[in-house]
Structure 1
Amino acid sequence: MQKVMELLGESDISQDSGYEEFIENLKDGKSEEVIEALINVEPDEIGGRIALTGFYYQFLVFLEYWVEMLQGKWDFVALELHEDIVVGKGNKLRFIQVKSSKETEQLASETLSKRTSVKEDGKLKAIINDSWVDKLIKKANYFKKSEGFETEFQLITSFIILKSRNLDVKKYRTKDFYEEIGDDDDLVKFMTHDLLQDKNKKKICYEEDCGEHITELLSRFCITKRADLDSMKYYESHIIQSLSEGLGEGANLTKEDLMMLIGRLMKMCNLYKEDKLVLYLSETESNELSQYLEDRATERAEKRVQLKGSLTIIEDVFTNLTQQLSNMDLYQEINEYIIFYKKYLEEWISEGGTIRELINRYLDGDQYSLKYKLENIHQQKERLFELFSVNLLLILAYDDVSKFSNHYKSLLVKEIQNIFIGFLSLNRGEKIDMGIEKAKKLLKNYEEIQLLLNPPKTILQGKFQNNRSQPLLIELQDQDIKIDHLPEELNLGEVNVVLHIIPGGMFETEFDNLFNFNDINDLKEHLTALWGGLL
C-alpha cells in the first residue's frame, strides 16, 4: 500500500481555477464550506460549476467503488484528489481516472488522446506522454506483471468519447475489458508513436518500461460512461440506493447522508508532500464509515418509530377524551376545541417533540429522566389524559390553545395568553409535600433570573393524598433558592420568592361538571371565572 500512496503523491496535477482553493479549504479543515457550496448548487446550475463539481463527481465514483469494497470485491480504495482513484484486491490493482464536463459528447482527440507537442523551427520534435490514457497506462511501470502484479486501467467520464480522425475508441467503451487488441488498433498506434517522450525528454517505450506489449496493457483498459452532469441527481440516487442496500434492510439513506459522508471523507484526506491530499480506506476505515452511516440510519429510523408511536398515543388519548364527552349536550362545540388542541400537539411532535420528553417533564421536570421507562403504555395514556383534560378546560376559558413554553427546559410549562402554568404529576398515595419539594428543586434549573423570581403557578395532578385541597402559597427560604454561580449583586435573600401550588383534584370535578352545561357561553363564563381566581 505504501507504494500506491507514493505513486498517488507523485501524480502530476493539471490544476484548474478551482483546484487550489478547494485544496486550501480542505487543508484548513473547511470541508463544511465545500459541502455547503455543493448543496447550494441547483441542478440546472451544476454544469456551470465544473471545478467544484469535478471533485464531487470524483467522490461519487469513489463511493461507488467503496460499495464494491463493502461487497468484498476490493481490499482498499484510495484517491489523490483531482487525479487517480486506486482500488486493490491482493496483487490486483485498478487505476481509475475520473473526468467530468458540462458537455455530453467530446472527441477522442480533444480528451483522452490530447498530448503536448514540442516543436522547433515549426517542425514537430517530440510528443509528451501526458494524455489521459498515457497517465493511466504508465502506472504499469510501477506494478509490473513480472513482479506478480495484475493491473487494470479505467477511464470514467460523464460524457461520451466520440471517434476522431485516426482514433476510434468504440471497442474500449465497454463495461468489461476488450481483451483482444490487435497491432492495427488506433490506440495501439497512438501509444507507440516514434516521437513519444516524457517531460524529462526520455524516450518512451511502454513495452520496455512496463515489461508488456502495449496490446496486453490496452487489453486491460476500458472507458466507462457514467451520468451526465445534468443528470447527476440520478447518479446520486444510484449511489444512495447502493449504499443503503450495502448496509442492510432498513438503512434508507438520504441526500443529506450522502453530503455528510462526502464531508467526512474530505476531513479524512491526509496531506501528502505539502500540496497533495490523499484519502485511503482500508478495512478499518471502511468499517468506521459504514458504522457511521448505520448509526445515522438507525437514529433516523428510531425517530420515525418514535414519531409514529407518539402520534399513535396522542390519537388514542384524544379518542378516549372525545368518547368520554360524546354524550354531553355541548359535544359538537367542545369537539372543535379538542380538534384544535390535538392539531397543535401533532404539529409539536412533528417538529421534534416526543411523548418521552412530555412524560419525563410532567413526572420529573427533566426531559432526560428515566421516569418514562417506568411507565407502561396504559399508564402513559392515563397521565396524558389528565394533562390534556385540564388543558381543555384552559382552552375553553381563554378561547386559545395552551402551548408548550420555550422559556422553560425542565418543568413542563404551558403558556396561554402570556400566562405561564406549570404541570407536575404525582403518583397515587404520594403526599403533596413531595410535589412541593420537587417544584422547589426545579427552581434551580431556571436559566433566567426573572423566571426564578417569578416561578409559574404549578398544578399538581394525580391521585396523591389531599389532591382536592386548597391552593398553597409557599414563601421560599434562602436555602431553597441558593444557586451556584449566581452573580454576587443578585442577593436572593432580599427577595420574596413565592411558589403557587394548585392541587389538581378540583379539575377532575370540573371535567365531570362539563355535562351540566347546555350553553357554551355559560360554560366559558364559568371556566373563565375559575381560572381567573386561580391564576
Structure 2
Amino acid sequence: MLEDILKYCFEDLSDEDRNSILNMDFNRSIDQLHAPINNADLEDILLDEKTSDNGGIVAMTGFYYQMMVSVLYLGEVFQGKWDGMFLDHHQDIVLFNNSEKIVKFIQVKTKNKSYSPADIKIGKSWIPKLFLTAYNIEKLSGFELRFEIISNCFYLDTQSFNISPFYPNSVNKNDEKIKKLVAENFDVKNVDVESTKDNLLNQAFQNFNMKYLHPEELKGKIAISIPKILGFEHSQLSTEILNHVIAEFFNACYNPKDASIQLIKDEKLNNLKEYIKKKLTDNLTKEYHSKSDEKILTQYFTKLDSDYSNSKLNSNFISEFKLFVDGFREDLEKILSDCDLTMKSIINLYLEYNKGIDVKLEESDYENHFNDLLSLLLFLKISIEKNLMIKEVNRHILSIKLDRLLFLILGNNDDMKVSSEVIQDFKDLFPRLDNSEKLRIANSQDVSIIISGQFDNEDSNQSTELKKEELDFSLNPSINNSKLDEITANNITEVQTPISILYAHRDNLNEINKPGNRKKYKNLVDMKNKIDEELKLDGII
C-alpha cells in the first residue's frame, strides 16, 4: 500500500524533481540533505530580499512621468496652440508659438509620495532656476514668457512659506514669503538695475503656476484628450500607443548631437500624429471585429447549448460534451485575440478563398455558413483531440492544423456545383498562392482538403485523393532570397505526398447533430465515432 502511494507520488513529479531525488546521496545525514533550488525558488529569493539600491528605479519612474507630461502637451501641439515642443532642452519641456510671441517653460518634478510639506528648495532653487532659464535668453525679451511646475506630489503650506497660492483655484493668496525667497535667488544675467529685476520677477509670477497631477490622473487625461484632439471622440489612447510615443521621446533625448533632435515639430510631429491616428483607427476596427466575433460565437454556442440541453439526452455525455465545448470556445477566442484573424476574415477565406474579399450574403446565409464552419472545426477537434491552430498568414486558403495534420478547408455556397468543380477551382487557384502557403503545404506530410458547406456531392466518392503532379508548386520570384529561388517545382513535388480529399457537406454535419443521433450518444467517444463515419476520418487520423 505504502509502496503504491510512493510510486503514484513519484510519477506525479516533474522530470526535474524526479532526477533530483534519483541523484540524491542518501548516505548523508538528514541534516545534510537539501532539496535543490529550482528557478521559481531562486526568483522568490531575489524578490523577497529587500534591495539596498533603488536609485535607478526612482530615476526611471521620474523620467517616465516627465515623458507622460510631454505627451499631454503634445496634444496642445497637435491642436495648433504651439508651433513645436523641445524635450529636455533649457527645461524639461519648452513650448513655443512664434506668431503669438509666447514661450512656455515647464519643469517636471517627481517624488515618491503624493503629498508632502513644501520643501525650502522650491523657493530657493526650483522657481528661480525656472525663471532664470528664460530671462537669461536675451533674444526672448520681446516674448511673453510663461512658467509651470508640474509634479506627481502635492506640496502643502508650511510655517516658513505658503506654496498654495500658485495652485489653481487656491483661496490662499499670501505668497509674500516665497516671493521674497525666490527674489533672493533671482540673479538675472546682464541685468544690474534692481527695479528691472523686480519688474521681471513680477511678470514671471503673474505667468507662473504649479500643477499637481497624480500619475493615474495624468494617464487618464492623456488617454482621453489625445484621441479627442485627433477626432476620435469615443476612443482612448492605449498604453501600447503611449509607450511608443514615449519611446520616440526618449530616443530624441538620447545623446543628441544637437538640440534640433530634441525638437518635436514638422515631420516628427506629423509622423507621431499619423502613427497615433493609424493605431486608433486599427483599435476601432479591432473593437468592431471583436464585438462582431463575440456576436457570431455567442449565436453559435447559444444554439449549440440549446440543442444539447434536452433532458432526454444521456447526462454523462452532456456533461462531457459541454465541458469540451467550453474549452473549444476558449480556444477560438484565444486564437482571435492573439492574431489578426477575425471571424469575418475567416469566412472570407472559407467562401471566397481570399482574406481580403468580403463575402456578400443574407444574414440567414451568414448564420448557416458560420454554423457549418464552426461545427466542422468542433467535430475535427473532438475526433483528433489536439490543439487547434488557424494559420493567420494565409491569404487564400483557410488552413487548419491539429498536431501534424493540416486541413485546407474549401467552403461552398452553390448546391449546384459538383465536388469535382470545387477541386478544379482549387487547382486553378493554387498557382496564385503565396510562396509561404505553397511551402507549408509542401512541407506537411499529412495534408487533407475538406470540401464543406453547400455543393452537389453526388460524385464525392469519385475523388478521394489529389496527386502532387496535378498542382503547380512553382514559386514566385523572391527578393534577395537565393535559397528560396533554388527550390523548384520538381524539388517540391518530389517530397509532396498525395493530398487526401474529404467531404463535409451540410447534410453530413447536420447528421451528426440530428436529434435522433444526439439521443444515441452515451459519451464523447460515441459522438467521435459518428463524426469519423460521416466525415470519413478513419484513414486520416
TM-score, L = length of structure 2: 0.68
For residues 525 and 197 of structure 1, do their structure 2 counterparts lie closer, same or farther at Cα, with a shift above 3 Å needed?
Answer: closer
Select between 479-488 and 467-476 the one with higher mean Cα deviation: 479-488
The structure richer in helix per residue is 2
Q: Distance in 2 between matches of 1:373 and 1:139?
A: 67
State the 1:239 CA deviation: 3.1
Does residue 483 of structure 1 match 2:493? no
1:306 deviates by 0.6
Whole-Å Cα distance in 1 between the matches of residues 372 and 177 of structure 2?
88
Q: Secondary structure at the match of 2:280?
A: helix
TM-superposition CA deviations, 1:202-254 (whole Å, max 9, x none): 7744755x7x7345334435351424xxx533333333333344344212123
Q: CA RMSD in A?
A: 4.5
- 1:96 is aligned, of 106, 117, 129, to 106
The 2-side partners of 1:132 and 1:234 are apart by 27
1:224 aligned onto 2:225:
no
Is 1:142 aligned to 2:143, yes or no?
A: no
Residues 472 and 110 from structure 1, CA distance in 2 versus in 1: closer, same or farther, beyond 3 angstroms? same
Corresponding position of 2:275: 292
Q: Which residue of structure 2 lines up, in the alignment, with residue 469 of structure 1? A: 460
Give the distance between the partners of 2:168 and 2:518, measured in 1 at CA: 79
What is the aligned length? 458
**1:86-235 equivalent positions in 2, closer than 5 A:** 86-89=94-97, 90-102=100-112, 105=116, 109-114=120-125, 132-133=129-130, 135-136=132-133, 138-139=135-136, 141-144=138-141, 147=142, 149-159=143-153, 168=161, 170=163, 173-175=166-168, 186-187=180-181, 189-190=183-184, 204-205=192-193, 213-227=199-213, 231-235=214-218
Counterpart residue identity of residue 366, structure 2: Q
**Aligned-pair CA distance for 1:515:** 1.6
Cα gap change, 1:478 to 1:263, in 2 (>3 Å): same
Matched letter for residue 503 of structure 1: Y
Q: Distance in 2 between matches of 1:137 and 1:449?
A: 64
Structure 2 CA distance, aligned partners of 1:342 and 1:461?
A: 21
Q: Is 1:59 matched with 2:67?
A: yes
Partner of 1:378: helix, strand, or coil?
Answer: helix
Tell me, in whole angstroms, the C-alpha distance in 1 between the residues paired with 2:158 and 2:445. 83
Match of 1:23 in 2: none
Matches within 5 A, 1:12-411: 49-70=57-78, 73-81=81-89, 83-89=91-97, 90-102=100-112, 105=116, 109-114=120-125, 132-133=129-130, 135-136=132-133, 138-139=135-136, 141-144=138-141, 147=142, 149-159=143-153, 168=161, 170=163, 173-175=166-168, 186-187=180-181, 189-190=183-184, 204-205=192-193, 213-227=199-213, 231-247=214-230, 248-267=232-251, 274=257, 276=259, 279-282=262-265, 289-321=272-304, 330=313, 333=317, 336=322, 337-352=324-339, 353-366=341-354, 368-370=355-357, 372-395=358-381, 397=383, 400=385, 403-406=388-391, 409=394, 411=397
Letter aligned with residue 99 of structure 1:
K
Percent identity among equivalent residues? 20
Q: Which amino acid aligns with 2:454?
A: K
What's the offset of the Cα at 1:461?
1.6
8 Å CA contact 1:55–1:81 kept in 2: the answer is no
- Following superposition, the deviation at residue 319 of structure 1 comes to 3.7
Aligned partners of 2:118 and 2:517: how far apart in 1?
87
1:424-481 deviation digits (Å, cap 9, x = unpaired): 1123123433422344415965364674463512121233233562042232327633
Residue aligned with 2:373, SS? helix
For structure 1, list consecutive stretches of 5 or more residues without a partner in the other structure: 1-44, 116-129
Change (3 A) 1:136 1:187: farther
Aligned to 1:456: 447
Residue type at the aligned position of 1:511 = I
> In structure 1, what is the Cα distance between the partners aligned to 2:471 and 2:449?
20
CA distance in 1, matches of 2:176, 2:496: 98
